[in-house]
Amino acid sequence: MSTTTINATALFDWVKMVFEHHGFPVDDAHQAASVLLSADLRGIDSHGVARLSGYLRLIDKKRINPRPSMSIIHETPSTATMDADAGIGLVSAPAAMKIAIEKAKNVGSGWVAIQNSNHFGIAAYHAMMALEHDMIGFAVTNASPLVSPTFGAERMLGTNPICFAAPALNQPPFVLDMATSAASNGKLEIAERANKSIPEGWLMDAQGNSSHNPSELKQGGMLLTLGSDAEHGSYKGYGLSAVVDILSGVLSGANYGPWVPPFVAFLDPREDQPGKGIGHFVGAWRIDGFRPAAAFKENMDHWIQRFRETSPQSSDNPVLIPGDKEREQQAEREIHGIPLVESVWNDLQSISKQCGLPLVNQ
């Protein structure tokens, strides 16, 4: 497959310019570009610049507000709710996380629910903001419905990711960032591009039959929850996805379940919405609210080392620590650039043309 490799800094500068061109204040454009590029750097290609043209279409449709007045509409010393004023989650979630971190500094933990928002990129960016403060970070979001609960044959939940990030001392941080579906949308896209069938347990077609064809998702199909079937605990994946939906949607006053607005501009949100926009939920625990941070981080090093030494099933396939793959990808891409598949590269070129902006430097 033909790919075009772009220097990460050049891509960042270009993305920032595109957001500014679409009305974002400079700081917000910087923030949004940072979150987007962090996905491309970490190898989560489905959540990086591949999303940019979709965001721009939502701005054109006035579903994403490029200059929102975000406000805190409810608050206690350790909690708050933010109204993101239809802004993009790439900006609202980091702003909320900053508030959560301040609250954690003051009272030990901080939690911010966000309503009236839009797609927030990768959860890991937001949760990882806690790390440099010796805090544990947490970030979840609901998402447009693509996933069926156990025993169901209807799109009721998003891939509703959970991120949990904890710092270590000499070891890299522990960063779990996972969709609560068995397979992510991104994995299906990769299979579709490669014209490959997908394993049993990822997808149903629109009629609720098991499907091995990744294209079925675009034809009304449904992703399965983590666990894939009831015998293997799919009700747990459903339950976790529901928890994400309750924290992000119900607790914030955003939409939830099948009412979460679609990410694509060509589908309109439902008219009978029970809440406002998409919801997120972010937070931080201050480690020394529980024990000295140095002691915790020493034990995290010990934990990580011991788990790396787990007796493996096969000596060429060692046990990994959550975050290992993404960190290795980032180290590689910071040096060698970000490979963009042809469709994404074409997308970026079209954006330049449409906006009358220079092409991104190769």
Closest CB to its own copies among residues 19, 164? 164
**Alpha carbon distance 302, 231 (integer Å):** 35
Q: What DSSP string describes 203-263?
A: EE-TTS-EE--GGGGGGT-EEPBTTSSGGGTHHHHHHHHHHHHIIIIITTT---GGGSPPS
**Alpha carbon distance 130, 167 (integer Å):** 9
- Closest approach, Cβ 354 to its own copies, in A, equals 38
Closest CB to its own copies among residues 13, 324? 324
Tell me if residue 178 falls in helix, strand or coil.
strand
- Closest approach, Cβ 81 to its own copies, in A, equals 5
- Closest approach, Cβ 243 to its own copies, in A, equals 5
- Closest approach, Cβ 313 to its own copies, in A, equals 5
Closest CB to its own copies among residues 146, 179? 179
- Closest approach, Cβ 188 to its own copies, in A, equals 13
Among residues 237, 283, 241, 236, the alpha carbon closest in space to that of 258 is found at 241
Closest CB to its own copies among residues 137, 337? 137
Distant-in-sequence contacts of 156-161, Cβ < 8 A, 24+ apart:
156/257, 156/258, 157/225, 157/238, 157/241, 157/242, 157/245, 157/257, 158/241, 158/245, 158/260, 159/184, 159/185, 159/223, 159/241, 160/240, 160/241, 160/244, 160/245, 160/248, 161/122, 161/123, 161/244
Among residues 161, 145, 159, the alpha carbon closest in space to that of 225 is found at 159
Closest CB to its own copies among residues 37, 100? 100
Closest CB to its own copies among residues 18, 183? 183
Residue whose tokens read 């049993």? 200
- Closest approach, Cβ 49 to its own copies, in A, equals 26
* Amino acid at position 89, single letter: G
Closest CB to its own copies among residues 56, 304? 304
- Closest approach, Cβ 92 to its own copies, in A, equals 15
Q: Would you mind telling me the total number of residues written for the chain in this entry? A: 362
The answer to whether the CB of 307 falls within 8 A of the CB of 319 is yes
Closest CB to its own copies among residues 2, 314? 314
Q: Which residues contact 312 (CB under 8 A, 6 or more apart)?
A: 318, 319
Tokens linked to 167: 């710092």
Taking CA atoms, 78 is separated from 110, 127, 196, in Å, by 5, 17, 48
Closest CB to its own copies among residues 201, 262? 201
* Amino acid at position 248, single letter: S
- Closest approach, Cβ 208 to its own copies, in A, equals 5
- Closest approach, Cβ 307 to its own copies, in A, equals 6
Among residues 139, 145, 82, 138, the alpha carbon closest in space to that of 115 is found at 82
